[in-house]
Structure 1
Amino acid sequence: MTTDGAFSTTWLNNLPKSMDSPLLPQENGSRNNCDAHRFFTQLSSIPKSVLQLLGSSYIMRSTAWEIYGSSSDVLSSPLFDWVEMKPPMSNLHAPLARINSLVYATCFAEASSSSDAASVHAKLIQHLAIFRGYKEAFAALKVAEEKFLTLSKSVILLLKLQLLHERALHRGNLKLAQQVCDELGVLASSVSGVDKDLKTEASLRHARTLLAANQFSQAAAVAHSLFRMCYKFNMQVQNATVLLLLAEIHKKSGNAVLGLPYALASLSFCQSFNLDLLKASATLTLAELWLSLGSNHAKRALTLIHGALPMILGHGGLELRARAQIAEAKCYLSDPSYSVFDDSEVVLDLLRQASDELQVLEYQELAAEAYYLMAHVFDKLGQLERREEAAASFKKHIMTLENPQDENDPLLNTLCRKP
């Protein structure tokens, strides 16, 4: 038995010797097998301090992939060269962020601090919400809350508020969404110290709530104020996000011409900083803006969507994929040269895929739009029975959107149960 420091020194000195020996020897089997055994035994006996340092590198790498992709300088550090080969393109950053988080949670959980473990759990739950829907995300969140019950004002609480807000907006429950915004405002207050990221998050959520309530001028005012703050403190990723939000505000308010410069500016930021998924979302918003200007812009919009589809379908979440599929279907239906009778399945397949993903995500408004377009296609084809089925689904989603309160929904009361 030795002290941790002495063992660390011995382990580091012996590691190069162990790595030089083959792990699957062909000759001198008994001796080499013993060396291999010592190699694996030594790796499983790494001191806790070394494990914590190695685990922290995975957290930092995951965060770097989430924000900047392969343009981040931290990814070119020699510290990471032996851990993972750097990919040739930046469009792998979303899955690599998940992979690094999973590696940390699987291999370094026992040696990690509570705050680091909570941060990784939050990242993985966010991915669940984006790619699997809120049902699985909230199930995982419940486990995380029990695991990190002692942490106050942790990332788990922030994640819980984020998920509640997104789900409330998708279900049309603006009262709950505003309540969550108030909670975020309390967390971002200057009483407990100014956190720029948290303040930005609270303002973004507030602007999105105003947009969902069709209060366009108020939402634009909040977004403009937020952009000035982000520009002042050189928060480039947030700049691109806020510009895209302003484009969406003008798109929904019916001022597509005013939204075009904001979408183009957001696209420019994304190209400068390799924000590939955000760039795909900005491209999709730009296509939607062009499409809203009239059917003569349908081909231009379709070209933009097709250019972003590899990224969206390869790495985008449920909402982004569904938005792209609905926008592509609308481009076909708006194009004067397209005939429903010649190739209706192209549009119907897109709308079916979108409606399935939106039901998992509980996005009532967008799901209603998908079923509306589906009913429109069936009506043109003269398939009255299928038209009525799609119309009934449309009506169901509209009624859910207009009456979002459900007393039997346990998630509506989860706001008062904080970790």
Structure 2
Amino acid sequence: MNRLNELGADKGALYFKLPTSSDLEAIPQDPKNPLTFAKVELGKLLFHETALGTKPLIKDISYRSYTCATCHHAGAGFQVATRQSIGDGGAGFGNWGEDRRKSDFYREREIDVQMRKSPSILNSAFSKTVFWDGQFGAKGPNLGTEIEWREGSPSAVNHLGYDGIESQAIAAFDAHRLGLGEDFFSAYPEYIELFDAAFPNLTEDERYSDLSAALAIAAYERTLLTDQAPFQKWLNGDRKAMSKDEKKGALLFFGKAGCVSCHSSPSLGNIDFHALGMGELKGFDTYQTNGFKNERLGRGGFTRKTEDMYKFKTPQLYNLSNAAFFGHGATFTSIEEVIHYINRGVPQSEEIHLDQLSPLFRPLHLTSDEVDLLSLFLVKSLYDPNITRYLPLALPSNQPLIGSKSMLSRELK
């Protein structure tokens, strides 16, 4: 506790405490998109609403069959359970996305696919920018990058002046072939009342729009908080929430191992970018990853600054054990592998030069027992077992939730 009090400055250990999803005033939010319960509820439905999949490349195959939850599923810790996420042009799903693959009806260059592993959106309210290169968001680290917000590029949405979560949600409608479509409200009239409640001060043209839908989704994403994890319970005074070994792992995290040097916000992420030399997404079961793309350059691919090359955003650390792959290139298959990698301090990437590596990436000299204790803290103490509470019970469209048994049976027909 003394170490946490020291790190938390004027807030002490409570600096690392996450708010609950119902305490809207305590959740970091964009002043241009203030949180309300009505807006969050609408966003929760739209996030899971496959009726938004209205712009597929092949309408007869993929129309209204994908949505945000296709690539950010609760069962996978609000990320993807495969190395690579596929929206339009994907087929199958499984329980939490582990069976997602390219549709036989689409060519590789036609599918909506990410060239990096989809990051978790849990606790994303604590980040001013979004994406591995932080390209979304008009504030914080992106002040001074305005020249890169080129018209026609996804980051052009930053000119609207929103924070990262809102900017990414707005850009996603075009990038991921989503939209309300002309018949959305006639087909699903229950949404009219939901949009009215969420955006009562907007004109009808502004209210019933893709922009408003995106802002509602962003509001919902800000409430995806892992406040029921054992470490959070311990911060709230339950000293039995963590075992002795978990506490030893926490002492390593906040002490000898130096993890807190990068993972320093309440979400145990931060707004900074670091070059840790992790490998790139490529090889078996990946698509559109050949060649040298900006994505491989990380932050430098966005800012075009030499000092930003191969730097990637520091991710949050809660519910990692829901994931199957780790690192921006999905080159690790367990948390333990990541810890061993950082402990050794030897880069995977064959592209990065040693002088481009972060000075924080160096051998930590942790013993095998210490690695095990640190892993225990990350796997168990930072695991909220109840994030399915953020799922809607049903959708106004009566479409099945992504990953549900009814969705699976529909896919198999």
Q: Greater Rg, structure 1 or structure 2?
A: 1
Does the alignment reach a TM-score above 0.5? Answer: no
TM-score normalised by the chain length of structure 2: 0.26
Higher relative contact order (CA 8 A, sep 6+): 2
Q: Which has the higher helix share?
A: 1
